[in-house]
Amino acid sequence: MTDILLLLIALLYFLVSAILFTFGLNFLYLTWRAWRENRVPQPAPPDPAKWPYVTVQLPIYNEMYVAKRVIEAAVKLDYPTDRLQIQVTDDSTDETREIVRREVAHWQAQGVNISHLHRTDRSGYKAGALQAAMPQATGEFIAIFDADFVPPPDFLRRALPHFLDELGDLANRPTEAKEKVAFVQARWGHLNRDYSWLTYLQSLAIDGHFMVEQFARSRAGFWFNFNGTAGVWRRAAMEDAGGWTADTLTEDLDLSYRAYLRGWHGRYLRDLVVPGEIPPSFSGFRKQQHRWARGSLECARKLAPQVWRAPIPFRQKFQATLHLTGYIVHLLLFILTLIYPLVALFTARYPHLNTLYGFAYLFALTSVAPTLFFLMGQQQLGRWHWRMLPKILAISVVGSGLMLNTARAAWQIWRQPDGVFERTAKFGIEQKEQDWRQQKYQLRFDSIVYPELALGMYSLGTVWLATNLESWGIAFYALLFGVGLIFAAATTIWQTISVYRRQKGVKEIGDRRLEIDQSPISNL
């Protein structure tokens, strides 16, 4: 019986390690590709002879702190006014609705072509709101900005020339310019990068995604996705791909791949930056990652079979699969965390297997790939310094702490097929002096911290066991996972307590002021 268990654990360990090795190698490949492609400048295309009609859509749902900001940014876009339409697709149920109504009315009085589209229900969530607005959209191209983003005034003038096949004479254009370009995606910047250690770490991760992954995939001819905001879609491509659908929680990834499957392509503009607000709350960050993880896995289940049936080269199919299934890495780390004690015990009981398990350690060497990936992102931005290395290493530790968060997302795909789109709360935070803890939209305490703490302690127990058995590789990785899990749980608990105390203090001050205002002396 023991030998059978040994065989099963060994097979599972090697399988998980091999898949992680594959993802790690791909991280290294994308990092190298980004470095190489950065040395090949791409000239900007000329302006079209005639600017096309554009509709700017601003999806909003309970965004009282940032709604006015994004509307003002959209109105300030430097584009021919007779060819620009702005739609505020508003599903709000709180004060945001009135804020949007007043702001839209103000700009309408100034002659701006802007409309307020409010739905009485939230069917389809963001995808439903965008699709419901399409019949009233007049643009040939649809630009989309989430409420927490602030597009620069020249955004449209810099993005639209990259749809070359319909915006100008093709006679003297390069062959690659004749592709059917479905969407153009800009890079995300950061409004509050230095607000806290959490926003700073998130900015490093976002920079890695946009400076390395999106850039390398686009330059290599691989499929990459529209990121849901800070981009422009060709309306014909959206309609050809079937429009927005709400059967996954990442409607942007879903539409992107359906467009690719129809023969369209995407363009990524790394030099066009649209700053956005990073969640200052760990609970908000956790919810965002949960939505992205679940949505990505839903898209993988829905679209991966179609990708492998598509008439495209094997390398594109392979890369698309890795792209769609990226969050599986967290699930694999979860499995490793659970089986590490057995692996350590079996290698100690059967010393002759140490050599075999040593091969799995070779797989684990690619765990440095994410560090190099994020490092390259900062190097490409000209920000790299050796003092940043501990912070970049911290990204991997914090990321491993979300393994249970991703496991829950995967579990819910089967247990709760109809997922709820939980938007990430935005607080209008740009300056360090601002305090998000006393504002609305605070999330309820997430009980996942209890299993995170338990699994974190389990991992620390694995460290103790592996150290005694002199299984140093397992001890090292178990320590990283344990610290990450306990850190995620502890940060959530600490911020929850901090929010409670802050709001309680604000309420007490308000109550005292009310008592003073209502006192007989104050009425004299």
pLDDT at 173: 44
Of residues 53 and 433, more confidence is placed in 53
Q: How does pLDDT run across 211-251, given as a tens digit for each residue?
A: 999 999 999 999 999 999 999 999 999 999 999 999 999 99
Output the CA–CA distances (angstroms, integers) from residue 40 to 36, 122, 211, 266, in the order listed.
Answer: 7, 45, 14, 19
**How sure is the predictor about 179, in pLDDT bands with cuts at 50, 70 and 90?**
low
477-509 pLDDT, tens digit per residue, is 999 999 999 999 999 999 999 998 888 765 555
Q: Which ranges of 365-448 would DSSP assign to H, the alpha helix?
A: 369-380, 389-400, 403-415
On whether residue 169 sits in a domain, the answer given is no
In a domain, 391, yes or no: yes
Decide if 183 is inside a domain.
no
pLDDT digits (tens, 9 = 90+) for 110-128: 999 999 999 988 899 999 9
Which parts of 173-281 fold into alpha helices (H)? 197-208, 215-220, 235-240, 251-261
Within 8 A by CB and 6+ apart from 467, the residues are 475
Q: Does 91 qualify as catalytic in the annotation?
A: yes
What tokens does 368 get?
A: 């440095």
pLDDT at 359: 60
Query: In this predicted model, which residue has the larger pLDDT, 476 or 6?
Result: 476
pLDDT at 169: 42
82 is catalytic: no
518 belongs to a structural domain:
no
Higher pLDDT, 74 or 122: 74
**Distance (Å, whole) CA 435 – CA 486:** 25
Per-residue model confidence as pLDDT tens digits over 289-327: 999 999 999 999 999 999 999 999 999 999 999 999 999
Answer yes or no: is 399 within a domain.
yes
Domain containing 348: what range?
Answer: 2-34+328-505
Q: Which of 90, 91, 148, 254 is catalytic?
A: 91
Asked if residue 512 has pLDDT above 80, the reply is no
pLDDT of res. 520: 52
pLDDT at position 256 over 80: yes
Mean pLDDT of the chain: 90
Q: Give CA–CA dist 219/40, Å, rounded.
A: 10
Is residue 50 assigned to a domain? no
Residue 54 lies in a domain: no
Q: Given a cut of 90, is residue 514 above it in pLDDT?
A: no
Give the ranges where 38-95 is alpha helix by DSSP (H).
67-75
pLDDT at 127: 96
Overall pTM surpassing 0.95 (yes/no): no
- pLDDT (0 to 100) of residue 2: 66
Phi, psi of 87 (to 5 degrees): -115, 125
Is residue 176 over pLDDT 50? Answer: no
pLDDT at 192 over 90: yes
- Taking residues 263-273, report their average pLDDT: 96
Residue 458 lies in a domain: yes
d(CA 306, CA 316): 13
Backbone φ and ψ for 88, nearest 5 degrees, come out as: -100, 105
Q: Among 103-117, 244-258, 380-394, 440-454, name the one with the lowest average pLDDT.
A: 380-394
Catalytic residue chosen out of the listed positions 90, 148, 207, 252: 252
CB < 8 Å & 24+ apart, contacts of 313-318:
315/222, 316/221, 316/222, 316/223
**What CA–CA distances, in Å, run from 342 to 336, 338, 346, 349, 521?**
10, 8, 6, 10, 74
Does the structure show a pLDDT above 70 at 518?
A: no
Number of separate domains in the chain: 1
Q: What is the mean pLDDT of residues 24-34?
A: 95
Q: Please give the average per-residue pLDDT across 358-366, as a whole number.
A: 64
Please report the pLDDT score of residue 120 as a whole number.
Answer: 86
Task: Please give the share of the chain, as a percent, with pLDDT higher than 70.
Answer: 90
Segment (H or E) for 508: helix 472-518
DSSP for 324-360, written as a single string: HTTTHHHHHHHHHHHHHHHHHHHHHH-GGGHHHHHHH
Rounded CA-CA distance 517/334 in Å is: 56
The beta strands (E) that lie in 73-137 are given as: 84-90, 114-118
